[in-house]
Amino acid sequence: MNVTLHPSWHSQLQSEFQKPYFETLVRFVKDEYSSTTCYPKGNNIFAAFDHSNFELTKVVIIGQDPYHGPNQANGLCFSVKDGIPHPPSLINIFKEIERDIGKPYPKSGNLEHWADQGVLLLNATLTVRAHNAGSHQNKGWEVFTDAVIRKLSTKKEGLVFLLWGGYAKKKIALIDTSKHHILTSGHPSPLSANRGLWFGNKHFSKTNELLKKMGKTPINW
């Protein structure tokens, strides 16, 4: 398993990589990738940390699983590779951005440009079997990504956490709400969005307003 991280993350997470659970997780992932088709590609598993600098992280979006269809997952939650049709949740994210800040619906669903601006696009589970959602849950990934969230909460101040849906909202327990900003809403999936729990949350304009108040550069969504 290729662990490619921005150096700023490596220094923060080095102790985590040496724990027994992570060694077990690495063996599991290697076995899965050698015996069946898994996503994302090995060199993209840690893409969220490769694009993002720990010191410059301003916004955190938490997803659950990588996309499990061919050529979709690129290691960033909700993001797909260039040229790939947009999954339903991503469609609703872009529709809300259009409604919220007036930015036209984009051609590409690749969110690397968000990550490069300091948005950590973190899935709770970083790998998945093809066509088998949730197949790599409860194998150790959540222990690792919970540690990431705790590290961000402890070491940084003024982060904006976007928690969409019930699963992401549970991560509030890991965040010091006295020093960070938390915006919650329903999930952008059609099931939630069609029940009126997603559209109109204005999380993209609200995030930028919070960043401006803290003297930080807003995100070009």
Tell me if 126 sits within 8 A of 25, measured CB to CB: no
| Catalytic annotation present for 50 | no
Closest CA to 75 of 66, 84, 64: 66
Tell me if 125 sits within 8 A of 67, measured CB to CB: no
Max CA distance (Å), the chain: 50
CA distance 74 to 64: 14
CA distance 181 to 160: 5
Residues 50, 65, 82, 100: which is the catalytic one?
A: 65
Active site residues: 65
